[in-house]
Structure 1
Amino acid sequence: MSQFSELINQDKPVLVDFHAEWCGPCKMMSPILKDVKDNLGESVSIIKIDVDKNQALAAKYQVRGVPTLILFKQGKQLWRQSGVVQKEDLINLINNNN
């Protein structure tokens, strides 16, 4: 978990995707997140966390449903939403918090 703390303590926004292999909507998020990364490049970090393999981390952030996206910057949670989020919404959100 200390590695996770280091990752979310960056000066740039860090978008964390809490997902699960068995989750249909999670699979829909993968190409969206790829497009966001392709658009924004190094101005954002995107991390995927499998809730089944990282139950302690999911519990710490009270992730009840997947996908759950959380945006961090310098260790602070700036935004959070469960369900599929569209590419444009994510890009705007990240740009507004950069």
Structure 2
Amino acid sequence: MPGEIVYLTTRNEVTEYLTTHPVVIMKFTATWCGPCKRSAPLVNNLFAQMHDNVSMIIVDIDKARDISSAMKVKSVPTLHNFINGRPMDSVVGANDDSIISFFNKTNKREFS
């Protein structure tokens, strides 16, 4: 069972969260984004299978433009993962195979 899911809206919150959680997936989304809605069940299912030290930050790009800008997010959905506060991998778009590969990489990095 994975760790928590949090919704953050400021860069300070994200910075603090990343320093206190060892493995974090950051999901950038928007309420109007069709591909985000389509990929959400897959992302949620894959996250539910993660180890309990993996947490997820969800960022609505319309409510947290400073975070989106700082992370150079150009389109949604975008996923990033962080190990001990360091960015490791990312995937842009709603391609199922790419999302599955991203979660598999996160799992492998978590134990390396």
Do both share a fold (TM > 0.5)?
A: yes
TM-score scaled by structure 1? 0.87
Q: Residue 61 of structure 1 aligns with which residue?
A: 71
CA contact (8 A) 1:36 1:90 kept: no
From 60, 76, 83, the counterpart of 2:93: 83
Tell me the alpha carbon deviations over residues 48-98 of structure 1, each in whole angstroms, 9 at most, x when there is no partner.
100000001100011010111111112111011210253532331111110
From the superposition, tell whether residues 59 and 45 of structure 1 become closer, same or farther in structure 2 (CA, over 3 Å).
same
State the TM-score, normalizing by the size of structure 2: 0.77
Q: Which has the higher contact order (CA 8 A, sep 6+)?
A: 1
State the one-letter code of the partner of 2:22.
K
Q: Tell me which residue corresponds to 1:70.
A: 80
Q: Distance in 2 between matches of 1:55 and 1:71?
A: 19
**Structure 2 Cα separation of the partners of residues 73 and 58 of structure 1:** 19
Q: Percent identity?
A: 28
- Structure 1 equivalent of residue 32 of structure 2: 22
Q: How many residues align?
A: 98
The answer for unaligned runs of 5 or more in structure 1 is none
Root mean square deviation, CA, Å: 1.7
